[in-house]
Amino acid sequence: MIKMTCHGDDAYKYSDVIDFASNSNPCGASKKAVDAIRNNLDRISMYPDSDCVELCKEFAKYNNVCSENIIAGNGASEVIRLFCEVFLNKSDSVLIPSPVFSGFEANARLFCGEIKYLLLNSCDDFKINADEVLGEINRVKNRIKVVFLCSPNNPSGQFIPKESILKILKEAPETYVFLDESFIEFSEMDSMSSEVEKHGNLFVLRSMTKFFALAGLRVGCGVGNKNLIEILRGAKLEWNVNFPGQVAAVESLKDKEYIENSKFLIKKEKQNLFNGLSLINKLRVYPSYTNFFLVDIEKTGLKSGEMKSMLLKKNILIRDCSNFRGLSENYIRICTRTKKENEKLLDAIKEII
Amino acid sequence: MIKMTCHGDDAYKYSDVIDFASNSNPCGASKKAVDAIRNNLDRISMYPDSDCVELCKEFAKYNNVCSENIIAGNGASEVIRLFCEVFLNKSDSVLIPSPVFSGFEANARLFCGEIKYLLLNSCDDFKINADEVLGEINRVKNRIKVVFLCSPNNPSGQFIPKESILKILKEAPETYVFLDESFIEFSEMDSMSSEVEKHGNLFVLRSMTKFFALAGLRVGCGVGNKNLIEILRGAKLEWNVNFPGQVAAVESLKDKEYIENSKFLIKKEKQNLFNGLSLINKLRVYPSYTNFFLVDIEKTGLKSGEMKSMLLKKNILIRDCSNFRGLSENYIRICTRTKKENEKLLDAIKEII
């Protein structure tokens, strides 16, 4: 019997809050994406393309790979699940450096035998060290089938350098590196997706949920070696990506102006938010390569759940990080929004502590 | 390693054809459903409700059960897959009376050990006999974990009487009856969904794809005993039903006028289409409880693939039934569309044969 574990994104439960928890682009969705849905409302009675041909083409261009390197999913979540369903057996172990997005654990648990955790160190800003990952892979006799990495990491904001990933790929060729890059557009770093044909054990996850702000449409993709993608395509659910999702994702990926403008705005406001948070006594703000910040609130004397509740009374939603494995009630996560909203958050935190 | 088998719905590949293959409501989607998507375009950046609370409420009202009896899915397809994933093991057998929708076989194959087929008889209009089903269940020593039934049946149009289903439920209490009612609105028969609390081994599948013409949005649901649903909910993918799909389905289910008008129109045109087809020499049209007809074209001398190609040249798409297990190149399937479109089809067939 299989059973999923819980997640933390609960923004849909609240109305009229400023959402600093979901980590999505404060500019909202591309207008061209919204127009694409509106202009195609007469086609919702038709089945969507089960093979997502157009969508895979755009994802391929965006990732600098071929269409045959792409599998599209009902959100990145479905891609994680499909990967686990296809490649994991009860005799396999997986490795999850933590803290990290709970979706890896929730899905891997359904299909693998054992999950090993590599707890990252707060003193080292939760950085991932390739040698430690390799050490853990070599230590486990029942070999590690998949190591799940997230870069930039949710919730720490850390980026894993290309050379570290390449080292793991080369020195652990029997282990799949499942690399979640859902937040890479918010950084100024390059995706690893164009490396998939060189490294058959690399699988990169991309999402339309965060930077492209299409959470409601459920579109994501995996980028991998052609052989690996062929296997995943053969096992996927039919018609898995809905039609509005397909057209909106295609138009979003093509909308270079939206992409550039969003990056420009977020880069500026992210720096302002970091500066503002850092100036508040009693907060330890971790450095971040992406649009959100992990914050240690221990010195405020408040627990993360208390701070979440107090901010909710001011119509502000943050992420209580206490249910991240390897974190505690001392941690919250805050994402960058617009200048005005960020200022409102800073004022609210100052009032509370 | 898991691998899906092929399906037959390929309408999305063709543009500007009259689609007699997809079996959906010729009235199209409810205008209220379309408006609901349009009026909520500003919410596509938010995660959809992972638990589909509002949608489950409406599905529950529609099925005369409680919300706790409902699991919502990314199309009925995802519900089939989830059911198989959760309840089938490699030591289990399933029974599939055929010909029937290929999705049962495609999904069951991924998770069960063996599939038994009960081939239905064309001389008996492919009717399902409860005693034959029970005989097969009793015959198989490695007991049948699930029997997949479809009523009205796709592609035969046959309806399974309530007393037959009840007999199977009672006399094979260790076997789940997975009852696909995707086409029940097109019949004048009652759903079995309100029986789920009385019979823990009954699971009913409903779809928004066919009668509600929302194929592009991927929404369906399963109706079952509360314990069974709790297990399925615990194992499902997070955020599995997209936001436009959730709001459009809710409004469609509430739109009683649309439902009544659609039923009225289809009932009338279905009879006209049946009469028209029956008048064409060389066609044997099977009686149908639903909106489509299985047609034996053997006497025309044409194979189903040939007839499909010839009609496509006239911008008409029909379903070539040769890849249904238990059928052959002698069978096509045609669904009811508008008066004018049905007449165009009848003229086209007459020209061809």
Residue B35, Cβ density class (10 Å: 0-12 exposed, 13-18 middle, ≥19 buried): middle
Q: How far apart are CA A267 and CA A270, in angstroms?
A: 5
Best probe of the A interface among B1, B42, B45, by most A CBs < 10 A, is: B45
Q: How far apart are CA A184 and CA A218, in angstroms?
A: 18
Q: What is the chain B residue with the closest CA to A246?
A: B216
Facing residue for A215 by CB, picked from B38, B47, B214: B47
Please check the confidence at residue B167 and state whether its pLDDT lies above 60: yes
Please check the confidence at residue B3 and state whether its pLDDT lies above 60: no
Question: What is the pLDDT confidence band of residue A15, given thresholds at 50, 70 and 90?
Answer: confident
Task: Say if strands B93-98 and B144-150 run parallel, antiparallel, or are unpaired.
Answer: parallel
Q: How far apart are CA B197 and CA B68, in angstroms?
A: 11
User: Using alpha carbons only, what angle is made at residue A288 by residues A297 and A136, rounded to the nearest 5 degrees?
Assistant: 90
Facing residue for B235 by CB, picked from A2, A44, A245: A2
Chain B contact for A53, CB < 8 A?
no
DSSP-assigned letter for residue B273? H
Chain B contact for A9, CB < 8 A?
yes
ipTM: 0.95
Tally the C-alpha atoms within 13 A of residue B254's C-alpha that lie toward its C-beta: 15
Which of these, B19, B41, B49, B89, lies nearest to B236 by C-alpha position? B49
Q: Which two tokens stand for residue A144?
A: 């590690």
Written out in words, the top-level CATH class of the domain with range B31-254 is alpha beta
Question: What is the pLDDT confidence band of residue B9, given thresholds at 50, 70 and 90?
Answer: low
CB < 8 Å from B in window 99-138 of A: 103, 106, 110
Which tens digits make up the pLDDT trace of A285-336? Answer: 999 999 999 999 999 999 999 999 999 999 999 999 999 999 999 999 999 9
Q: How far apart are CA A202 and CA A223, in angstroms?
A: 8
Please check the confidence at residue B5 and state whether its pLDDT lies above 60: no
Which of these, A110, A107, A112, lies nearest to A175 by C-alpha position? A112
**Residue written as tokens 């996560």?**
A333
Q: How much is the mean pLDDT over chain B?
A: 95
The confidence score (pLDDT) of residue A126 equals 97
Q: A236: which chain B residues are within 8 Å (Cβ-Cβ)?
A: 4
Task: Please state, as a whole number, how many other Cβ atoms lie within 10 Å of the Cβ of residue B235.
Answer: 18
User: Using alpha carbons only, what angle is made at residue B205 by residues B202 and B208, rounded to the nearest 5 degrees?
Assistant: 160
**Residue written as tokens 């909910």?**
B233
Rounded to a whole number of angstroms, the distance from the CA of B92 to the nearest CA of chain A is 14
Which tens digits make up the pLDDT trace of B225-265? Answer: 999 999 999 999 999 999 999 999 999 999 999 999 999 99
If you average pLDDT over residues A224-239, what whole number do you get? 97
Task: Annotate A287-317 with DSSP letters as a single string.
Answer: P-SSSEEEEE-GGGT--HHHHHHHHHTTTEE
Which of these, A216, A346, A182, lies nearest to A269 by C-alpha position? A346
Chain A contact for B74, CB < 8 A?
yes
Q: What is the chain A residue with the closest CA to B30?
A: A45
Q: How far apart are CA A290 and CA A273, in angstroms?
A: 12
If you average pLDDT over residues B323-346, what whole number do you get? 97
Rounded to a whole number of angstroms, the distance from the CA of A104 to the nearest CA of chain B is 12
Alpha-helix runs per DSSP H in chain B: 31-39, 53-63, 75-87, 103-111, 130-139, 162-171, 226-235, 243-254, 256-278, 304-312, 339-352
Rounded to a whole number of angstroms, the distance from the CA of A98 to the nearest CA of chain B is 21
Which of these, A160, A155, A202, A199, lies nearest to A178 by C-alpha position? A202
- 3-state secondary structure at position A149: strand
Question: What is the pLDDT confidence band of residue B7, given thresholds at 50, 70 and 90?
Answer: low
Q: B215: which chain A residues are within 8 Å (Cβ-Cβ)?
A: 44-48, 239
Q: Do B238 and A77 touch (CB under 8 A)?
A: yes
Which residues, 6+ apart, have CB-to-CB distance to A13 below 8 Å? none
* Helices A226-235 and A75-87: angle between axes, nearest 10 degrees: 100
CB A277 within 8 A of CB A295: yes
CB B302 within 8 A of CB B320: no
Which tens digits make up the pLDDT trace of B34-57? Answer: 999 999 999 999 999 999 999 999
Which tens digits make up the pLDDT trace of B258-306? Answer: 999 999 999 999 999 999 999 999 999 999 999 999 999 999 999 999 9
Print burial letters for A45-55: b (CB count within 10 Å at least 16), e (below 16): bbbbbbbbeeb
Q: How much is the mean pLDDT over chain A?
A: 95
Q: A50-53 contacts: CB < 8 A, separation 24 or more?
A: A50/A238, A50/A239, A50/A240, A50/B7, A50/B12, A51/A233, A52/A241, A52/A246
Q: Which two tokens stand for residue A57?
A: 């083409």
CB < 8 Å from A in window 214-253 of B: 214-218, 231, 234-240, 242-245, 248
Chain A contact for B45, CB < 8 A?
yes
If you average pLDDT over residues B180-206, what whole number do you get? 97
CA A309 and chain centroid, separation: 25
Prediction pTM value: 0.95
Please check the confidence at residue A16 and state whether its pLDDT lies above 90: no
Rounded to a whole number of angstroms, the distance from the CA of B202 to the nearest CA of chain A is 19
The confidence score (pLDDT) of residue A137 equals 94
DSSP strands (E only) in A210-325? 219-224, 284-285, 292-296, 316-317, 319-320
**Residue written as tokens 């997975």?**
B178
CATH code reported for the domain at B11-28+257-352: 3.90.1150.10
DSSP strands (E only) in chain A? 18-19, 70-74, 93-98, 114-119, 144-150, 176-180, 202-207, 219-224, 284-285, 292-296, 316-317, 319-320, 331-335
Residue type, A349: I
Q: Where are the domains of chain B?
A: 11-28+257-352, 31-254
If you average pLDDT over residues A237-248, what whole number do you get? 98
Facing residue for B45 by CB, picked from A48, A103, A214: A214
Question: What is the pLDDT confidence band of residue A12, given thresholds at 50, 70 and 90?
Answer: low
Tally the C-alpha atoms within 13 A of residue A173's C-alpha that lie toward its C-beta: 4
Question: What is the pLDDT confidence band of residue A3, given thresholds at 50, 70 and 90?
Answer: low
Please check the confidence at residue B13 and state whether its pLDDT lies above 90: no
Q: B279-284 contacts: CB < 8 A, separation 24 or more?
A: B280/B346, B280/B349, B280/B350, B280/B353, B282/B353, B283/B349, B283/B353
Facing residue for A217 by CB, picked from B11, B34, B243: B243
Task: Please state, as a whole number, how many other Cβ atoms lie within 10 Å of the Cβ of residue B257.
Answer: 10
Facing residue for A245 by CB, picked from B19, B24, B242: B242
CB A323 within 8 A of CB A10: no
The confidence score (pLDDT) of residue A13 equals 72
Rounded to a whole number of angstroms, the distance from the CA of B220 to the nearest CA of chain A is 13
Q: How far apart are CA B67 and CA A349, in angstroms?
A: 39
The confidence score (pLDDT) of residue B2 equals 53
